[in-house]
Amino acid sequence: MTIKSLRKAALATAICAVTGGTFSSGALAAGFALQESSTSGLGRAFAAENAIGDNAAILARNPAGSALFNEMAFSVGVTYVNPEIDAAGTTDYYSLTSAGPNLEASVFDRADDYASSAFVPNAYFAMPLDDCWSFGLAMNTDYGLETDFDSDWPVTHIADQTELLSVNIAPSVAFDWNNQFSVGVSVNFLYADATLKSKVPNNFVLDPLAEQILGGPASNAKLLDAEGDDWDVGWSIGALWRSVDGRTHIGVSYQSELDPEIEADVDSDLLRSATTGLPFNNERANLTLDLPDMFELGIYHRFHDEWGVAFGAMWTDWDDFERLEAFFPNQRVNGNPVPDYNPLKIKEENFKTGWRYSLGVEYYPCDEVTWRFGYAYDNGAARDGFNNDALAESQAVGFLPDGLPVTWRTLSIPDADRQWVTFGGTYKVNNQLSIDGGLAYLWGDDEPIQEFQALPLVPGVGLGTYFDGGTTNLEAWLIGASLNYSF
């Protein structure tokens, strides 16, 4: 095995682990998306969120929604998300040499509650322009979380600390026919800001071996420390039909894919420039994320003066998210891009397209109060089974001993099918002002995770890490509040 091969593998796993954790570990929908667009929607598990139009928050899911309002309407809210993701397993450390892998140590450990809590805000504005045209503006968060493993977690070089902030700003216009059918379109401006870190664990169990090889301990050696951001532009289109009596609403909407290219400055004690041989210091790297397009259907019917029912189905084209690739544009030799870095295939994710189904019930005991209940089932995007191509590639270069499986699902993307149960309500203070509250609990299945990483130590000698375990808990509590005002 060559140091070139080890360095390539180290870069691949380091960046993949950190970016994967950033965009998925604490996400509360399939893959690395967030559902939390409104508090009223939270109460009914976001069923028919693109059709009902309780308030201006419908603009997050359907740009045709501004046609529902005869006067200016404003909604602002926040959802507090408290996820808990736990994992446990055995970590095997191998020395990697030309003679093959040799098992040096095994460690069993747990990582408890490594997805951080966060506040997810939103704000919306709808304004009629005339009898037919209306304007809308949505500002909400589609992706984002923070994950933080303990510094002595045995695989912090696979997943350590990550943080992502994303903001979606979507101005829209809608046209209405006869107060029954409307169509709308929006332009979606997405901003994403990420901080990504990975390092050798604290109190590293193989420090004695590292001192023999490197002349000093490896604990806390920085593998990747990156900060970056980017803007991208997409679009949405939607249609909304409501019956003459207003008791039935049907909404359909489509959101285009987005491809933000995170421009990051990378520092590392391990990754070295192909031109200078020095460790990366503010080295520029570009990482493109293929965010999926989505289609949503919502149906609402008020079948009784005191009762209404809502159904929602959302299709997310996760098949577009096949792999992560990094580009280091300044890594050139004689003017030509260095092949190892341009592009560098980070990881084959091979996500699968899935559906989210939701059912909500609303109860109207009086004009001032609405109660909501909901249930949702959300297909996970991570593929089950084993990544046989990665296994074959690792074994071909001597990285991995025979017989050790590698799953598609990783520690940094512990995605699984999820179920939601929700409750919420609205109190109408007067004809202009109302207040929403919502509460939700969601949980996912425990899933096996087996993955491998190789890191270089010195030319011809590397460290192989194999994690064999899985998630032991995936759940979250959400609580939201919002204020709605029309004038």
Give the H or E element holding residue 7. Answer: helix 3-24
Instruction: Give CA–CA dist 81/316, Å, rounded.
Output: 22
Instruction: Give CA–CA dist 319/293, Å, rounded.
Output: 10
Instruction: Give CA–CA dist 472/246, Å, rounded.
Output: 46
Peptide bond before residue 329 is cis, with ω within 30 degrees of 0 = no
Nearest by Cα to 183 from 251, 246, 229, 123: 251
End-to-end CA distance of the chain: 70
Neighbours of 349 (CB within 10 A): 25
Contacts of 407 (CB under 8 A, 6+ apart): 385, 386, 387, 448, 449, 450, 451
Strand partners, 186: 172, 236
Q: Which residue has the tokens 């280091």?
A: 328
Instruction: Give CA–CA dist 197/454, Å, rounded.
Output: 17
Residuewise pLDDT in 10s, the chain (487 residues): 333 333 333 333 333 333 333 333 344 556 677 888 999 999 999 999 999 999 999 999 999 999 999 999 999 999 999 989 899 999 998 887 777 788 889 999 998 888 888 889 999 999 999 999 999 999 998 877 677 788 888 888 877 777 777 899 999 999 999 889 999 999 999 998 878 788 888 888 888 877 777 777 888 888 878 888 899 999 999 999 999 999 999 999 999 999 888 888 888 887 788 888 888 898 898 887 788 899 999 999 999 999 999 999 999 998 888 777 778 888 888 888 888 778 767 666 788 899 999 999 999 999 999 999 999 999 988 888 887 766 655 555 555 556 678 888 888 777 889 999 999 999 999 999 999 999 999 999 899 999 887 776 677 777 888 899 999 999 999 999 999 999 9
Task: State the total domains in the chain.
Answer: 1
Nearest by Cα to 315 from 64, 33, 91, 58: 33
Instruction: Give CA–CA dist 246/279, Å, rounded.
Output: 65
Structural domain boundaries, residue 192: 3-486
pTM of structure: 0.87
- Residue 39 CA, chain-centre distance (Å), reads 20
Give the H or E element holding residue 101. Answer: strand 100-111
Nearest by Cα to 302 from 51, 485, 43, 65: 51
8 A C-beta contact, residue 271 and residue 287:
no
Instruction: Give CA–CA dist 81/118, Å, rounded.
Output: 5
Question: Could you tell me the sign of the dihedral formed by the alpha carbons of 67, 69, 75, 79, in that order?
Answer: negative
HSE-CB of 305 using CA atoms within 13 angstroms:
3
8 A C-beta contact, residue 207 and residue 214:
no
CATH of the domain at 54: 2.40.160.60
Neighbours of 454 (CB within 10 A): 25
Q: Which residue has the tokens 């019917």?
A: 301
